[in-house]
Amino acid sequence: MNSQSIRARFLEFFRKKQHQIVKSAPIVIKNDPTLMFTNAGMNQFKDFFLGNATSNDLRVANTQKCLRVSGKHNDLEEVGFDTYHHTMFEMLGNWSFGDYFKKEAISWAWEFLVGELKLPADRLYVTVFEGDKALNLEKDMEAHNFWKEWISEERILNGSKKDNFWEMGDSGPCGPCSEIHIDLRPAEALKEIPGKDLVNKDHPLVIEIWNLVFIEFNRMADGTLVNLPSKHVDTGMGFERLSMALQGKTSTYDTDIFTPLISQLGQESGISYGDSQDGDVAMRVVADHIRAIGFTIADGQLPSNTGAGYVIRRILRRAVRYGYTFLGYQEPFLYRLIPVLSTQFDGVFDELKKQEAFVANVVKEEEAAFLKTLEKGLGILDGINKNKAIDGSFLFKLYDTYGFPKDLSLLILKEKGVLQNLSENWEKEFEKDLNSQKGRSKADAAKETGDWIQVHADGSGTFIGYDALECETRILKYRKVKIKGKAQVQIVLEQTPFYGESGGQVGDIGVLVSGNEKIPVLDTQKENDLIVHYTDSLPGKPEASIKAVVDSSRRARIMVHHSTTHLLHAALREVLGTHVEQRGSLVEEDGLRFDFSHFAKMSEAEIEAVETIVNKKVKENVPLVEDRALPMEAALKKGAMALFGEKYGDRVRVVTFDPDYSVELCGGTHVNATGKIGLFKIIGESSVAAGVRRIEALSGDAAEAWVRAQSESIARIKDLLKQPKDIAQSIQQLLEHNKALEKKVESLQGAQASGMKQELINKATTVGEAKIIIAEVPLDGADAVKKLAFELRNEVPGLVLVLGIITDDKPLLTIAIADDMVKKYGLHAGNLVRTLASKIQGGGGGQPFFATAGGKNPEGMAEALELAEEMLKTDINQKG
């Protein structure tokens, strides 16, 4: 059974059990401060479990792209070394939102695995939660008894909180779980140790394939468990592991999910999978990591130096390094796996096929950049021997200079067997260097979050800000937080006109009015479906009704920029082509930023064409047509552009400015007709990453202010130039004139210097065999003196020269001594200048034949020169 059909049969099985089949959520998570990547199928349903939102369907199933590389669930270190861990994997799942519970979840799981897929029942084991004193929870007898109907009791094993109480993160929905494990060992091995002794013991062939979680609780920030309003089912089956069991393999990497990738690596490198341990590990690492890299980039996350982007960069660098060291790749190679992957997943996760060239390009550039420093960094790590102590600063240097993520350096230290040489505090040392480089202290970044305190009935609050900018409402819940050491309050309102930052549009600010109190709202953010208002304090009576008022003039300026973004997007596609896709945006009151896929710098003509189209659309005063809740299919039929990596519900909001021009899926706020945008002006075009360009632009008041400032500065320039007819020509002339003057000055200086040179030569006094010249000269700048000193040194045999100049009120001493004088009299310009420097309150140094010293006290110059004469004469006379 190939993996495609295994996936299809799972979905079909649950479709027949009245489950709605839904799409995988993007692998990169937005609007959730607790999670960077989807790490389980249930993430996208978290708000249904918490009661913040309700699902239209009580039963759903899907296959979800998951990534476990950070936070509570992190498998990165295992990947490559064993045969069944992955960073990115697919999780097949079925869910009940307050509908069926343990009985159905258990019997359907059994029916699917044993009835449908014919996995041998005598190779399966199940675990149930044994209870936990600290949590004050009893053994899950219910699950135990339901299992008894299907499987003999000796195959039902107890499991501890670690394995059988599932939690997504440190807080959030959770509950006891029941896992299904399979024993894939050869028959003879079964006789030696019974499978039940190997369950949850990290045996590569006795593995968990399916986890049935019975979500009943919410874990609070303080660690307590609170009962949820209803009970839910969350199941997750490892697709790669299931495929391994069904395809009779002993490694997930031997299934048809990974073999196309591994065989391409084999063909290219000439190394066969199975030849050597290092080569095998490397191939598994690369085959695994390219999936994580490819799907996250396709979901809109570019590699970068912070947050989710840095996680991708780290994974990519880990893969590059394995390929380089163990598979012999000296040039970018990962990007060539993208087409293999996109073909494999065509029809399952289409986003990769649709953006194949773009993703491959980003990967290639990242690889090339890292390969440039990889060898040097590896060389430094190679230099470490068994006895050398290693501290965090060393790892920081590798990170900072050679781009080695610290986990990559650790991995290499481990391979070299010198991990124990690391200082105990290496992490702190690393952080310290990192923070001092970033100029911030750890306390700045720290954030403490308390639990939500319920004031009125639960819910996520309704956004009414498309139609109103103020309303009477009440507080649903609030919590106290500390951000950068500053106490703040986060408030959720029953109804709110405040827009929570999302889709690039910044959050609203405004006030909450409660009786006589006016509490400023400093920002509004979204947390999943919650709209969270940030304030400095809580109203005295939180339960009283309050009035929520948005800063309307700021909002108006933001709306102008958001609508402009849509017009700009359409214009870019018209001018550059339909390969242009939005890659990110920022919509603020003072302007907008729009990132999009395009391979070349935009020409002046292209920029002008885009401006012209947008301004034309503004002048047409196209009215806004807004569909608040269109079924997704209808929206797509209208030609609405959906963004990769964005999570959309069944019903979507569609914003149209002329059905033939701009139709977008969008939750943002907009002007009611494009005329409100006023003037549109692009003020910047640059590159953000491989194949991604950025436009910065202004419209409305901001554009007018910009134009005003421009014309003011032109007026100033005209004034300075005495109102010329043509400013550009006038400046051109000025520049030319300036250049001519510079030339003149240079030649005059040359003449002056040669006159000066002669004068100095005439002044030379002979002491022993030395020709001593000591003088203060009217030259400007260290370079001019240096030039003169070297010329004299070439022309005057036996030269001993001390020159002083004063430039910009700063004294500078320059000493040049002929080589034979250095030898004969043991003179040393560097030592001499250091002594003289004390007279001018300065310091300096240099070689025996040439040295300089700068100082602060020009008054000391004469004294310094006198001292020079005295010392030189003494030295020469003594040695002579």
Out of 29, 42, 395, 698, point to the residue binding ligand SER (CB under 6 A): 42
Residue with smaller CB distance to ligand SER, 235 or 565: 235
Out of 24, 52, 211, 514, point to the residue binding ligand SER (CB under 6 A): 211
State the nearest-atom distance from the C-beta of 473 to ligand SER, in Å: 35
Out of 213, 532, 760, 777, point to the residue binding ligand SER (CB under 6 A): 213
State the nearest-atom distance from the C-beta of 57 to ligand SER, in Å: 17
What whole-number distance in Å separates Cα of residue 704 and Cα of residue 728? 23
Residue with smaller CB distance to ligand SER, 126 or 546: 126
What whole-number distance in Å separates Cα of residue 554 and Cα of residue 552? 5
How many residues bind to ligand SER according to rule CB under 6 A?
A: 10
Residue with smaller CB distance to ligand SER, 137 or 327: 137
**Span from 34-42, 460-468, 724-732, 861-869 in contact with ligand SER (CB under 6 A):** 34-42
Tokens in use for 144?
Answer: 């135990």
State the nearest-atom distance from the C-beta of 285 to ligand SER, in Å: 23
Out of 129, 166, 258, 326, point to the residue binding ligand SER (CB under 6 A): 166
Contacts of residue 459, Cβ cutoff 8 Å, sequence gap at least 6: 51, 52, 476, 494
Out of 40, 285, 287, 334, point to the residue binding ligand SER (CB under 6 A): 40
Please write down the long-range contacts of 702-705, taking CB distance under 8 Å and 24 or more positions apart.
702/557, 702/561, 702/589, 702/590, 702/591, 703/678, 703/679, 704/678, 704/679
Burial (CB count <10 Å: 0-12, 13-18, 19+), residue 373: middle
What whole-number distance in Å separates Cα of residue 573 and Cα of residue 613? 11
State the nearest-atom distance from the C-beta of 268 to ligand SER, in Å: 35
What whole-number distance in Å separates Cα of residue 398 and Cα of residue 409? 8
- Phi/psi for 856 (5° steps) reads -110, -15
Pairing of strands 156-159, 124-129: parallel
Tokens in use for 73?
Answer: 């669930």
Residue with smaller CB distance to ligand SER, 92 or 567: 92
State the nearest-atom distance from the C-beta of 166 to ligand SER, in Å: 5
Residue with smaller CB distance to ligand SER, 68 or 353: 68
Residue with smaller CB distance to ligand SER, 93 or 195: 93
Instruction: Measure Cα distances from 301 to 363, 399, 609, 638 in Å.
Output: 12, 21, 30, 27
Residue with smaller CB distance to ligand SER, 41 or 169: 41
State the nearest-atom distance from the C-beta of 158 to ligand SER, in Å: 18
Q: Which residue is nearest to ligand SER (CB)?
A: 236
State the nearest-atom distance from the C-beta of 35 to ligand SER, in Å: 13
Kindly identify the residues of this chain, within the stretch 57-96, that bind ligand SER according to CB under 6 A. 93
State the nearest-atom distance from the C-beta of 654 to ligand SER, in Å: 33
What whole-number distance in Å separates Cα of residue 155 and Cα of residue 181? 10
State the nearest-atom distance from the C-beta of 75 to ligand SER, in Å: 12
Q: Provide the 8-state DSSP code for 28.
A: B
State the nearest-atom distance from the C-beta of 124 to ligand SER, in Å: 17
Residue with smaller CB distance to ligand SER, 61 or 198: 61
Contacts of residue 591, Cβ cutoff 8 Å, sequence gap at least 6: 561, 683, 696, 697, 698, 702
Site string for ligand SER, 219-258 (x = CB under 6 A): ---------------xxx----------------------
Residue with smaller CB distance to ligand SER, 63 or 296: 63
Q: Are the C-beta atoms of residues 147 and 173 closer than 8 Å to each other?
A: no
Residue with smaller CB distance to ligand SER, 180 or 576: 180
Strand order in the sheet with 582-587: 582-587, 592-597, 692-699, 680-689
Site string for ligand SER, 312-351 (x = CB under 6 A): ----------------------------------------
**Span from 39-47, 425-433, 676-684, 743-751 in contact with ligand SER (CB under 6 A):** 39-47
Contacts of residue 496, Cβ cutoff 8 Å, sequence gap at least 6: 461, 462, 463, 464, 465, 471, 473, 524, 531, 533, 548
State the nearest-atom distance from the C-beta of 211 to ligand SER, in Å: 4
Residue with smaller CB distance to ligand SER, 236 or 539: 236
Residue with smaller CB distance to ligand SER, 169 or 300: 169
- Phi/psi for 722 (5° steps) reads 65, 50
Residue with smaller CB distance to ligand SER, 95 or 146: 95
Residue with smaller CB distance to ligand SER, 40 or 770: 40
Out of 41, 405, 497, 584, point to the residue binding ligand SER (CB under 6 A): 41
Residue 106 contacts ligand SER per CB under 6 A = no
What whole-number distance in Å separates Cα of residue 306 and Cα of residue 834? 47
**Residue ranges in 383-425 assigned as alpha helix (H):** 392-402, 406-415
The helix, strand and coil proportions of the chain, stated in percent and rounded to the nearest 5, come to: 45, 25, 30
Q: DSSP string spanning 501-525?
A: BBTTBPPP-EEEEETTEEEEEEEEE
Tokens 């190939």 found at: 2
Which residues are 167's β-sheet partners? 174
State the nearest-atom distance from the C-beta of 234 to ligand SER, in Å: 5
Burial (CB count <10 Å: 0-12, 13-18, 19+), residue 392: buried
Residues that bind ligand SER (CB under 6 A): 40-42, 93, 166, 211, 213, 234-236
